[in-house]
Amino acid sequence: MEKTLPKIEIIEKYCKGCHICVEFCPKDVLEMKGFCVSVKNLEACIKCMQCELRCPDFAIKVITE
């Protein structure tokens, strides 16, 4: 079965660059670009939603079907 990739939506206006999502992502999907988080490797995402759960700033959404 082909793996379906989620869509990771980042609201740049809300992100305060705390690094929590980057550090606690088990698959190293995210990275910091300046003060804001961005997606580095979407293929590795396993949709565990840890980044969305732990983002204190409502800045990350992992959209699956």
Partner 1 sequence: MAFDYDKWIRPGKLPHIWCPGCGHGIVMKGLIRAMETLNLKKEETAVVSGIGCASRLPGYIDCCTLHTAHGRAAAFATGVKMAKPEMNVILVGGDGDGTAIGGNHFIHACRRNIDMTYIIMNNYIYGMTGGQFSPCTPTGHKASTTPYGNPDPGFDIAKLAIGAGATFVARGTAFHANQIDKLIVEAIQHKGFSVVEILDDCPTTYGRRNKYKSVIEMMNRLKEVAVPVKAAEKMTAEQLQGKVLTGVLYKEEVKPEYTAEYAKVIERAKASK
Q: Is 41 in the site for partner 1 (CB under 8 A)?
A: no
With beta carbons less than 8 A apart as the criterion, state whether 15 and 63 touch: no
- Angle (CA) 17 32 30, round 5°: 110
Decide whether 9 or 31 has the Cβ nearer to partner 1. Answer: 9
Q: Is 9 in the site for partner 1 (CB under 8 A)?
A: yes
Distance CA 64, CA 54 (A): 17
Number of residues that bind partner 1 (CB under 8 A): 23
Binding residues (CB under 8 A) for partner 1: these are 9, 13-14, 16-20, 23-24, 50, 52-58, 61-65
